[in-house]
Amino acid sequence: MAMVRRLYRWYAGIGDDPRLAIAQVTNLYRQVPLLYGLLLINSLAVAVTHRDSAPALLTVTVPALLFAVTLIRLLRWARAGRRGVAPSPAAARRQLRTITTAAGPIAIAYMVWSLLLMRYGGAAQQTHAAVYLSTTVMGCVFCLMSLPQAALLVATMVVPPFIAACLAHYQIMFAVIATNVALVVAVLLRVLFNSFDYFRDQVAARAALEQQHAELMRLNAENGRLALTDSLTALPNRRQFHHDLDLLADAHDGTPFAVGLLDLDRFKPVNDTYGHQVGDLLLVELARRLRAIAGGATTVYRLGGDEFGLLTVGERDESVAAAERLCQSIAAPFSVGELRVAVGGSLGLALSGEVEASGALAGELFDRADYALYHAKRVNGGGTCVFTPDMARAIRTDRAIEAALQASALDEELRVVAQPIVAAASGTIVAVEWLARWHSPLVGEVPPAEFIAIAERSSLIHDITLAVFRKGFAAARALPGELALSFNLSACDLHSPATMAAIEREITASGVAAERIWIEVTETAVMRDPPAAARALAQLRARGIKVALDDFGTGHSSLSNLHQLPLDKVKIDRSFLADDEAARGWAVVAAVVALCRSLALECVAEGVQTEAQLDALLRIGCGAVQGYLFSPPVEAEAAAALVREWERRREAA
């Protein structure tokens, strides 16, 4: 009974493994037509050899019925095989059960027919029938190797009756045939089961390999997605931004689109005040807000740090409106844990319809958006700025200046001018500030604000700074030895260890005492990386060099800079001395002077142009002044004469 139950479960489990079932049916598509072809040819041969000795019922009628059924089955399987389409798991299971169910009746029908034929004719005809039945059953078993249940069913249905029929002849030849057939079929079944085990293992191995391949493809796709996604905000990253921008630029279908660059205002103070963890949470909240507001036509990207990009598909008004919505949304405060954090944003936008189509369209739009962002931050003070034709002309000018800078011989073309810094109470010149001037043979005289800003966007600013130090030290040989020499450092210089080391070498080579040197840095330069700036300035002060914070009041976190940075002097920006809003500006100046006094810092007021301004500065106790009231910047060769003339007039007074 146990054996019967196992056989029942074995037959009942046909097609339960979907992958194995599909592989079995796919293999049977090739084998079953051969099986039916073999059956037809062998059976036709037997019918022909018995046509004269057996009745027509067995040689014509019965074979005709059997052949019709067999031919129909052959054509159906051949047609299914020609389609070359793997069946579904359910269809494969159904086909396996159908062929197993049909195998028994068909095998019995052919077996009964052939055994009946063995009763007719002579010894040769009877032997032919026996050989036909034995070889055909072996061929059928072999063709059904991928479906062992059906093969075993055919063998058990045919071989035992065949052996019994052979033994019933009571002839040694038939007994030998029966014995040989029994042995061959037994061995063939053993080989069949071994082969099927290998076949099943191969299917399982291929399934495992396909699963591994699918998992590998999934991981590759996931890695590809992660490579194009910002890990913090889950927004598309810079690589995806440039890929999508290139696709839009290369589409050539006339669809208008816009490129935007968004930069956060006041984000660094949040990082510095509350820590990077709060800064990261703020960026996550910001990304969530931008994604919710963007809409279907606009995609927001995180390009890095606090810089975001956007691509908007639509007409000019739609793109501008979308950009303004995004920029305005940043102005509302963010809730980060228990904190309420407020930042702002500046956004530069460039429109595709305003750029001539070319192979460099993507790069041109990106540059325009970057320039518009610069304009929004530096000129507009935040908000959205759309690139205009005037900016296009400015870009062409900047590129011409940059090209001239790249090709310039700075030691020959660059010169320095000197502007005195005067003690407010005594009127004595206490220092001269060396300023760079550049006359290019290609573009002519270039204002310092223009070429310095352009140089800061490349490594040229380092060469300019070092040239100013060399020329300033050379010109200082004609000045009195007690005068201080003031030099400006840009943000790029301050955060470049190589440039700072080169400056120290220039100071050493000049022979000028370190105590005579002032280094002026702006708050903007300091705020790029306050800890790094503090370390660089502390290194200079350790040599005895004085450090001055230039343009005080125009940057961020000014008060914290006064006590966190290693400073000796503060230079109050000229904007506070302007005539408009004079009362408000002078109140700030008085407060700064008082604060510097309490912190033991020297205070220098820039941009002094009138006696009234000087008198006001004297009343509030400002220690030093600088401006056109005393002297505009003069050429280096005239600096010594200016100092002598100034001292002569002061003594005469």
pLDDT at position 505 is 92
CA distances for 420 relative to 403, 478, 510, 628, 631, angstroms: 33, 15, 21, 10, 7
pLDDT at position 381 is 67
What whole-number percentage of the chain has pLDDT above 90? 18
Reported as a single tens digit per residue, the pLDDT across 23-59 is 888 888 888 888 888 888 988 988 888 888 888 898 8
Higher-confidence residue of 246 and 339: namely 246
What fold, for 407-652?
A: TIM Barrel (3.20.20)
Position 358 pLDDT exceeds 70: no
Instruction: Write down the pTM of the prediction.
Output: 0.57
Q: Given pLDDT bands bounded at 50, 70 and 90, which one contains residue 573?
A: confident
Query: Is the CB of residue 533 less than 8 Å from the CB of residue 495?
Result: yes
pLDDT at position 356 is 60
- Computed over every residue of the chain, the mean pLDDT equals 85
Query: Is the CB of residue 415 less than 8 Å from the CB of residue 437?
Result: yes
Class of domain 238-387 (CATH, top level): alpha beta
pLDDT at position 553 is 66
pLDDT at position 583 is 66
CA distances for 156 relative to 27, 34, 91, 271, 272, angstroms: 23, 21, 27, 83, 86
* 316, two tokens: 């000019």
Reported as a single tens digit per residue, the pLDDT across 297-339 is 899 999 988 899 999 998 888 888 888 888 888 888 888 887 8
Higher-confidence residue of 85 and 528: namely 85
Euclidean distance between CA atoms 362 and 259, whole angstroms: 9
Euclidean distance between CA atoms 171 and 162, whole angstroms: 14
* 155, two tokens: 């063998």
Domain segments of the chain: what residues?
A: 2-211, 238-387, 407-652
pLDDT at position 206 is 86
pLDDT at position 603 is 92
Do the bridges between strand 429-440 and strand 444-446 make them parallel or antiparallel, or are there none, so unpaired? antiparallel
Helix (H, G, I), strand (E, B) or coil at 224: helix
Q: Name which of 33-37, 470-474, 620-624 the model is least confident about.
A: 33-37
